[in-house]
Structure 1
């Protein structure tokens, strides 16, 4: 009886070991299959990551950055005598700036060398911005943009330089006008980039100085909705209405407002779908005694001593 019991135990043990081996073999096979699946998945992830990284490196056609210089006039003077200098994107590093930055250079208008500081075309870029945006700049240099108060300051305040400002205007009925000012410069950030303008020339009228003392925007600081530096203290009278903030009156855009003045080239575009928008303004450009409705505008600066432009 003991021998039969012993044989049964041995047989049971062998059966159990075989069962365990079969179970372990099945588990190993499952693990091997899962391992192969994980490896295949990892390979796919690696290929996908590589493809995404490659596309991130070149998501759009390359932007044509041409050269380096202190500003667009400096680039034109340096390169213009030895090679054709096309309009386009350039990197400049003005004296006094702690960093280089990209600008759009107009190398065709009146001999070239112009650094664009603002451009409005169709209202696709929102100019209802706070101080920090107007300080650093916003938009697309290939379309609508504001270069930034700091960058403009660095360009026009280089030593032994003098810059002129050219404002080009286009109306909704496709007529053109302009206003130019020699000796354009800005005071520093502690003085909120107070603007200074020299002598006016053009056919659009001197809207910066306006028609009366209260209109004069020359020698006034820059204002935004959150940093109010206009001359409405505590309020001023505009069109028979009491106004406490010129920026608020002009749909929270930023500009060199006085009380509030006749010019605001950063106003809401007429095509923005906002019927109460004040629009881009240059109040001295009139037709039939009414201000012309402005479709597009650009502001550009260049050194005035350049031999290509007298």
Structure 2
């Protein structure tokens, strides 16, 4: 059992004495708080102050068995800690206010952010599409033709893309570097009936060249449909690898495949004298494989000088030869 104690509660704007409070934790009335890493401070009448989590500071009562008294720590130590805590909390308050301002200026997608702020620069933003309960971060590529949301980027070997269904569904990597945003998030964005989406694929080779492919009416199906890919009209300089370099390998209308979720249509697929049951095993990484097909940008990244001859590279076979693994890729969408 614990007794009622006089607790010293440190608020953001003042230090106030609160009397006759019980319970295991006393929280700040203000929504602004901080995360503190410091030893416990022992106050008078057997009360312990310590941090208990991110952005929350609490006062925890001590039971009789701890046998702490006000002689445990001298008052000058308490006063010093209180000053440090108050300064830290005020700093945290200012940062939280700046963060709220930034979030308030952002929108439902990168296109809307660019319309609201024409001079906005490329970078990480927080968006909240209609129907999504929790906002999430995305990388927005701010171009003269609008704000594009990047959902795939390959620039090196820092992040492995040889992952299973759950990882591709939820996303992985670093938004400012190699990453996959997540099929679930792309689905929630593109399912909006009030908007249509354009997908752009940017490609860079190892010799300094580049090419692009754009598709109108981009959207994904839900998870029950294996996040089926749908694209409309093509334009660009890289060729329409989604629909394939030859008949019978059109990836448009196919579900997403990973090593543990096969939707590629192979039973098996025959490549010369090689029979493949799973394209993800041969190509490495998840993709909308259609009997493997001509596009696959989530395979293994290969550096210059070692980028030819691999079956598991980053391929766009209407631009480069079948076993040429490109240097860098970027896939992004914008609403129109």
Q: Which TM-score band applies after superposition, normalised by the shorter structure?
A: 0.7 to 0.9
State the partner residue of 1:298.
Answer: 330
Could you tell which deviates more after superposition, 204-213 or 219-228?
204-213
State the partner residue of 1:35.
Answer: none
Q: Cα RMSD (Å) of the superposition? A: 3.1
Secondary structure, aligned partner of 2:327: strand
CA contact 2:198–2:217 (8 Å) conserved in 1:
yes
Q: 1:236, 1:79 → 2: CA distance?
A: 49
CA contact 1:238–1:259 (8 Å) conserved in 2:
no
Determine if the alignment matches structure 1 residue 146 to structure 2 residue 162.
Answer: no
Q: 1:210, 1:277 → 2: CA distance?
A: 17
Determine if the alignment matches structure 1 residue 87 to structure 2 residue 122.
Answer: yes
Q: 1:212, 1:65 → 2: CA distance?
A: 48
1:229 to 263, 287, 299: 263
Normalising by structure 1, we get a TM-score of: 0.72
Q: 2:277, 2:165 → 1: CA distance?
A: 18
Determine if the alignment matches structure 1 residue 280 to structure 2 residue 314.
Answer: yes
Q: 1:290, 1:259 → 2: CA distance?
A: 15
State the partner residue of 1:174.
Answer: 208
Q: 1:133, 1:151 → 2: CA distance?
A: 12
How far does the alpha carbon of each residue in 1:137-186 deviate from its partner, in whole angstroms, 9 at most, with x for none?
00000111000001111111223100000000000111001111011001
Q: 1:239, 1:181 → 2: CA distance?
A: 31
Determine if the alignment matches structure 1 residue 247 to structure 2 residue 280.
Answer: yes
How far does the alpha carbon of each residue in 1:88-116 deviate from its partner, in whole angstroms, 9 at most, with x for none?
111111112232110001112x4231011
CA contact 1:209–1:215 (8 Å) conserved in 2:
yes
State the partner residue of 2:106.
Answer: 68
Query: What is the total number of aligned residue pairs between the two structures?
Result: 250
CA contact 1:65–1:89 (8 Å) conserved in 2:
no
Structure possessing the higher relative contact order (Cα contacts under 8 Å, 6 or more residues apart): 1
CA contact 1:121–1:143 (8 Å) conserved in 2:
yes
State the partner residue of 1:120.
Answer: 154
State the partner residue of 2:292.
Answer: 260
CA contact 1:167–1:178 (8 Å) conserved in 2:
yes
The ranges of structure 1 where at least 4 consecutive aligned residues each deviate by more than 2 angstroms after the TM superposition are 64-68, 211-214, 271-277, 289-293
Normalising by structure 2, we get a TM-score of: 0.67
1:194 to 204, 220, 228: 228
Q: Report which of the two structures shows the higher radius of gyration computed on alpha carbons.
A: 1
Q: 1:39, 1:265 → 2: CA distance?
A: 62
CA contact 2:300–2:314 (8 Å) conserved in 1:
yes
Which structure 2 residue ranges, 5 or more long, are not aligned? 1-71
Deviation at 1:39, TM superposition (A): 7.0
CA contact 2:107–2:113 (8 Å) conserved in 1:
yes
CA contact 2:311–2:323 (8 Å) conserved in 1:
no
Deviation at 1:277, TM superposition (A): 5.6
